């Protein structure tokens, strides 16, 4: 099989870190905070590497957009089994406003340039929860897009005779679909359990190539049409009140003007 | 049984096989007695207590490890480890020699497990990197004001800090140590050091002649009950000519090495304290960057060693770093260092600074107090100990970073000359470098620690704190530690607890949610997390001891001294009796439990790499 898979990976604030809003209310604090690969992207990488191990694809290319630090994220993908990486350099103000639309334009351009047959992405990123990039990329390329929905069991992604076979868990049971390649697949949480990037693989990954590309080289304009006006913490949860009898409850509700 | 030599080889083999079969039958019985003594599932499932070669679930699992060679491997990416790495590469570049230096660090990024006040004395830094200012070292807050006071419940008695007293901080800098360590990491990488954060050294490897061969990193993919998961992978072996151990205070590999090489045969046992710290953004009107405040006294009684620090940092926002230290030789099992810290913040002089402010970070770590008397032997075949791991903290100054860095540099210098010596004939496969210890004894670390050696032990008198202060005034300030005697410590911290029935419980005030807080919300601010499906890394040698001894005699002190709420005694589902619940995910890697457990039953081992707290410069700001 000569298929090539493009996997998008995003560097996000680690899921266990407590987020703090910047004092000037323009965003959240990111400097020095622990970052790691988006958990959904880890699953995407794992799925791509599994396909390569089943010899259904020939090459896995990991892509990330951002400043210098995203190279660590690409290295982790390389350590998990990707063959080479592409770092799309976006920094400063452009990086702060980078969103699904620009990323999908970049991925679409790269897919054409690299002649990828399959794009696997995480379903959403845990920092913005947009769940848009996969769908937008497919639309821009005019490719089919599917999300192998999870359930209690891991679902499957397979390549059979130039078509992508996806097994999804739905309410009524299992649904098997065949999609034409090339296609975009977005990975949800229980698709697989990502492997650890072990130290010997990290050392080997240092020798794998990461190419540097600028969005302008791909003919993509990363300016944003969205402007963030303000970022605020969610409102503090107010303490509840315990009441002893139904009378009290009715009384309190009346007090609050609810009845 | 039978004298085997009388029989043929075949017969001997049969006898051997029989013995093996008998042994197999014996082992399950032993296991079942262990589990039936506590009629519940096992608390400890770690392979260091239940070896995998006897565990049927591990049959057929590939246990071969990938191995790689370096010239020097350094365990721990803290001030000592990174200074050693930098020094090694500086020497290698200077003498145009190739040297492969690898640093393994359990935190996911360099600096994420670093916690300290911190007030840095830049002496070692200026020796290591003289142009640190031009290179952008984050030493942004020189000390401008120095205050020391004795607190009573309502009042504050200022104590003058005369020049020459160890608490004098003129010339020092208030830093966010995690950021400083991160900067050191960048300097090291520039010089070509290989840094591997996220990989913990979990095992020391030995040559056949008993010298240290290197380390192995942690295995990954072991489930909570100790069985292998699908993603199980063995750790990797890193072999080196010499291995430097810079794990910080009470390192778990160092604990093994002390026993293996009898490094503590000629010194006193190490004594410790626990330091708890918070970072606050305060009202700008109350902020005085460069102000350093220390206090002793309330809320601790005169016989419990401890005190506080409050530093105003100059890093853009009105930040203060404040914390509380309690000596772990305290005797009352009802004492909770965390709650003493929270209580202390309500003192009028402290509350006035914090009112209107916002707490943004929390953390805790054990620190050394043994000083000069507790310095072990520092070198052994194949390895050396550096930094707070053997323990070079200057206790009255409460500074250990500069001595840790200097020890790393000395180790690097002696290792370099040995490794590059072409005529070297070593007796052991791992290099033995006694030159490190000799250089150490001639260095300023030795002189400094010698001069303050009697200050901490001077607290062990009837007047406690006040006796200690009088002693310091006379013998340190006037005589500079030249008195000919050396006072002893009191023995192991773990042996100091009195039984609960002989002590009075302490009534702590409830946290008010504005100045003082409860434990769990504090732990959330440390950002700590671990992969939940792994064996608890707080291992018990014997699962039945906590309820039988710690709870029965000492009322479960681990519920109080753990600053992260890892240990909880909960009622059994059957209703009668209690069991110990270990919430390993909360652990902030402070090591206090390993130190203070009166039964010495708890053995802290390293969890899967990247787990643990996520301190950011020990703060979380822009």
CA–CA gap between residue A62 and residue A78 (Å, rounded) = 7
Write out residues 36-55 of A within 8 Å (CB-CB) of B: 36
pLDDT at A46 exceeding the cut of 90: yes
CA–CA gap between residue B383 and residue B418 (Å, rounded) = 12
**pTM value surpassing 0.90:** no
Residue B430 contacts by C-beta under 8 Å, 6 or more apart in sequence?
Answer: B207, B211, B212, B213, B241, B242, B243, B381, B382, B383
For this complex, say whether ipTM is above 0.90: no
Taking only the tens place, the pLDDT of each residue in B373-387 is 999 999 999 999 999
Please state whether beta strands A118-122 and A183-187 pair in parallel, antiparallel, or not at all (unpaired).
Answer: parallel
CA geometry: angle A243, A244, A250, nearest 5 deg: 60
- Residues from chain A that touch B66, judged by Cβ atoms under 8 A, are 200
> How does residue A169 score in pLDDT terms, banded at 50, 70 and 90?
low
Task: Measure CA of the first residue to CA of the last residue in chain A; give whole Å.
Answer: 69
- From A74's Cα to the closest Cα of chain B, the distance in A is 16
- From A247's Cα to the closest Cα of chain B, the distance in A is 31
Catalytic residue among B114, B217, B401, B403: B401
CA–CA gap between residue A29 and residue B61 (Å, rounded) = 44
Secondary structure (DSSP) of B62-118: -----EEE-SEEEE--SHHHHHHHHHHHHHHHHTT----EEEEESSSSTTTT-----
The answer to whether B585 contacts chain A (CB < 8 Å) is no
User: B177 preceded by cis ω (within 30°)?
Assistant: no
CA–CA gap between residue B545 and residue B566 (Å, rounded) = 17
Q: Which of B321, B266, B276, B194 is nearest to B563 (CA)?
A: B276
Q: Which of A182, A217, A187 is nearest to A88 (CA)?
A: A217
For residue B203, give the H/E element and its range: strand B201-206
Taking only the tens place, the pLDDT of each residue in B451-507 is 889 888 888 877 788 888 888 777 777 777 788 888 888 889 999 999 999 999 999
Q: Dihedral of the CA atoms B48, B52, B57, B61 (nearest 10)?
A: 120
The answer to whether A199 contacts chain B (CB < 8 Å) is yes
Catalytic residue among B182, B590, B610, B619: B590
B621 to A196: CB separation less than 8 angstroms, yes or no? no
From the centroid of its chain, how far is CA B393?
A: 12
Residue of A nearest to B194 (CA): A203
Question: What pLDDT score does A1 carry?
Answer: 56
What is the rounded average pLDDT of the residues A195-212? 90
Q: Which of B363, B442, B451 is nearest to B178 (CA)?
A: B363
CA–CA gap between residue B313 and residue B180 (Å, rounded) = 14
What is the rounded average pLDDT of the residues A210-230? 90
- Residues from chain B that touch A16, judged by Cβ atoms under 8 A, are 527-529, 614
From A18, A32, A193, residue closest to B525, measured CB to CB: A18
What is the rounded average pLDDT of the residues B85-109? 95
For residue A42, give the H/E element and its range: helix A39-53
Both structure tokens of A51? 């396909």
> How does residue B407 score in pLDDT terms, banded at 50, 70 and 90?
very high
The answer to whether A28 contacts chain B (CB < 8 Å) is no
Question: What pLDDT score does B40 carry?
Answer: 52
- Residues from chain B that touch A49, judged by Cβ atoms under 8 A, are none
Taking only the tens place, the pLDDT of each residue in B230-274 is 889 999 999 999 999 999 999 999 999 999 999 999 999 999 999
DSSP-H helix ranges across B452-584: 465-471, 519-525, 545, 552-554, 558-561
> How does residue A21 score in pLDDT terms, banded at 50, 70 and 90?
confident
Q: Whats the size of chain B, residue-wise? A: 622
> How does residue A148 score in pLDDT terms, banded at 50, 70 and 90?
low
B621 to A29: CB separation less than 8 angstroms, yes or no? yes
Question: What pLDDT score does A186 carry?
Answer: 87
Q: Are B139 and B132 in contact (CB under 8 A)?
A: yes
Question: What pLDDT score does A155 carry?
Answer: 60
A3-7, A52-56, B32-36, B109-113: least confident range: B32-36
Distant-in-sequence contacts of B546-551, Cβ < 8 A, 24+ apart = B546/B580, B546/B599, B546/B601, B547/B38, B547/B577, B547/B578, B547/B579, B547/B580, B549/B598, B549/B599, B549/B601, B550/B580, B550/B597, B550/B598, B550/B599, B550/B601, B551/B578, B551/B580
Write out residues 71-90 of A within 8 Å (CB-CB) of B: none
> How does residue A34 score in pLDDT terms, banded at 50, 70 and 90?
confident
* 3-class secondary structure, B320: strand
> How does residue A150 score in pLDDT terms, banded at 50, 70 and 90?
very low
pLDDT at A151 exceeding the cut of 60: no
Both structure tokens of B340? 């003493």
> How does residue B330 score in pLDDT terms, banded at 50, 70 and 90?
very high
Question: What pLDDT score does B461 carry?
Answer: 77
- From A18's Cα to the closest Cα of chain B, the distance in A is 6
Inter-axis angle of helices A133-141 and A100-114, nearest 10: 50
Taking only the tens place, the pLDDT of each residue in A87-107 is 999 988 888 889 999 999 999
> How does residue B94 score in pLDDT terms, banded at 50, 70 and 90?
very high
Is B14 known to be catalytic?
no
Q: What is the mean pLDDT of chain A?
A: 87
From A17, A198, A200, residue closest to B527, measured CB to CB: A17
For residue B259, give the H/E element and its range: helix B252-261
B236 to A199: CB separation less than 8 angstroms, yes or no? yes
> How does residue B565 score in pLDDT terms, banded at 50, 70 and 90?
very high
Cβ of B265: how many Cβ atoms within 10 Å?
9
Question: What pLDDT score does B459 carry?
Answer: 83
Task: Show the 3-state SS of A49-101.
Answer: HHHHHCCCCCEEEEEEEECCCHHHHHHHHHHHCCCEEEEEECCCHHHHCCCHH
Cβ of B210: how many Cβ atoms within 10 Å?
15
């Amino acid at each position: 099989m000569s298929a090539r898979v493009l996997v998008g990976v995003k560097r996000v604030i680690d899921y266990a870190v407590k987020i703090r809003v910047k004092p000037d209310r323009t965003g959240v604090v990111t400097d020095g905070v622990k970052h790691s690969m988006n958990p959904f992207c880890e699953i995407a990488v794992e799925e791509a590497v599994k396909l390569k191990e089943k010899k259904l694809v020939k090459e896995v290319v990991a892509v990330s957009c951002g400043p210098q630090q995203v190279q660590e994220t690409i290295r982790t993908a390389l350590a998990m089994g990707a063959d080479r990486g592409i770092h799309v350099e976006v920094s400063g103000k452009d990086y702060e406003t980078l969103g699904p639309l620009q990323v999908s334009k970049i991925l679409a351009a790269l897919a054409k340039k690299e002649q990828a047959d399959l794009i696997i992405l995480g379903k959403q990123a845990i920092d913005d929860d947009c769940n848009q990039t996969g769908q937008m990329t497919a639309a821009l390329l005019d490719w089919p897009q599917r999300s192998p929905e999870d359930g209690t069991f891991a679902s499957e992604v397979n390549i059979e005779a130039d078509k992508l076979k996806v097994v999804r868990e739905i309410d009524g049971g299992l649904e098997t679909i065949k999609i034409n390649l090339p296609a975009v697949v977005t990975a949800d949480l229980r698709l697989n359990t990502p492997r650890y990037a072990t130290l010997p693989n990290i050392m080997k990954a240092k020798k794998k190539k990461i190419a540097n590309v600028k969005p302008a080289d791909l003919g993509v304009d990363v300016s944003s049409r969205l402007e963030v006006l303000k970022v605020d913490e969610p409102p503090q949860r107010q303490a509840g009140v315990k009441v002893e009898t139904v009378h009290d409850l009715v009384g309190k509700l009346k007090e609050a003007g609810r009845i | 049984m039978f004298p085997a030599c009388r029989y043929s080889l075949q017969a001997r083999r049969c006898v051997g096989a029989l013995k093996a079969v008998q042994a197999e039958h014996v082992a399950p019985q032993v296991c079942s007695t262990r589990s039936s003594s506590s009629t519940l599932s096992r608390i400890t499932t770690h392979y260091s207590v239940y070896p995998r070669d006897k565990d049927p679930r591990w049959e057929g699992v590939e246990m071969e490890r990938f191995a790689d060679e370096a010239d020097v491997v350094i365990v721990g990416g803290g001030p000592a480890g990174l200074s050693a790495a930098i020094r090694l590469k500086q020497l290698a570049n200077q003498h145009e020699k190739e040297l492969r230096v690898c640093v393994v660090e359990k935190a996911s990024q360099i600096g994420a497990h670093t916690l300290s006040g911190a007030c840095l004395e830049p002496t070692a830094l200026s020796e290591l990197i003289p142009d640190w200012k031009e290179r952008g070292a984050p030493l942004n807050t020189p000390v401008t004001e120095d205050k020391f006071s004795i607190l009573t419940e309502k009042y504050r008695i200022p104590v003058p800090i005369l020049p020459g007293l160890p608490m004098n901080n003129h010339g020092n800098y208030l830093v966010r140590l995690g950021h400083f360590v991160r900067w050191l990491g960048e300097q090291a990488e520039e010089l070509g050091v290989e840094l591997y954060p996220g990989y913990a050294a979990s095992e020391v490897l030995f040559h056949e002649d008993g010298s240290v061969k290197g380390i192995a990193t942690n295995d990954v993919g072991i489930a909570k009950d100790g069985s292998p998961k699908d993603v199980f992978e063995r750790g990797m072996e890193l072999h080196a000519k010499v291995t430097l151990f810079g794990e910080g205070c009470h390192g778990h590999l160092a604990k093994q090495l002390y026993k293996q090489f009898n490094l503590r045969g000629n010194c006193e046992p190490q004594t410790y304290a626990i330091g708890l710290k918070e970072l606050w953004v305060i009202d700008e009107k109350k902020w005085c960057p460069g102000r350093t405040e220390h206090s002793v006294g309330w809320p601790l009684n005169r016989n419990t060693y401890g005190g506080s620090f409050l530093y105003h940092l100059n890093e853009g926002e009105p930040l203060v770093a404040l914390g509380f230290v309690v000596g772990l030789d305290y005797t009352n099992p009802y004492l909770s260092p965390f709650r003493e810290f929270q209580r202390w913040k309500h003192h009028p002089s402290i509350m006035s600074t914090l009112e209107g402010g916002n707490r943004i970070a929390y953390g805790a770590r054990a620190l050394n107090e043994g000083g000069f008397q507790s310095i072990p032997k520092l070198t052994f075949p194949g390895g050396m100990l550096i930094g707070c791991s053997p323990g070079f903290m200057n206790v009255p100054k409460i500074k250990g970073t500069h001595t840790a860095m200097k020890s790393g540099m000395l180790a690097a210098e002696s290792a370099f000359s040995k490794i590059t010596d072409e005529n070297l004939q070593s007796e052991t496969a791992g290099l033995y470098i006694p030159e490190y210890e000799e250089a150490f004894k001639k260095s300023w670390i030795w002189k400094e620690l010698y001069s303050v050696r009697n200050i901490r032990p001077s607290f062990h008198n009837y007047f406690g704190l006040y006796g200690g202060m009088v002693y310091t005034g006379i013998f340190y300030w006037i005589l500079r530690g030249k008195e000919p005697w050396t006072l002893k410590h009191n023995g192991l911290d773990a042996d100091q607890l009195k039984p609960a029935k002989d002590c009075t419980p302490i009534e702590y005030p409830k946290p008010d949610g504005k100045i003082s807080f409860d434990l769990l919300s504090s732990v959330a601010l440390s950002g700590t997390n671990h992969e939940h499906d792994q064996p608890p890394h707080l291992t018990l040698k014997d699962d039945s001891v906590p309820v039988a001894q710690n709870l029965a005699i000492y009322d479960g002190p681990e519920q109080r001294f753990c600053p992260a709420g890892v240990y909880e005694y909960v009622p059994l589902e059957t209703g009668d009796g209690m069991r110990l619940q270990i919430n390993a995910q909360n652990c902030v890697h402070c090591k206090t439990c390993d130190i203070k457990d009166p039964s010495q039953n708890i053995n802290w081992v390293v969890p899967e790499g990247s787990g643990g707290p996520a301190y950011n410069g020990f703060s979380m700001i822009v």
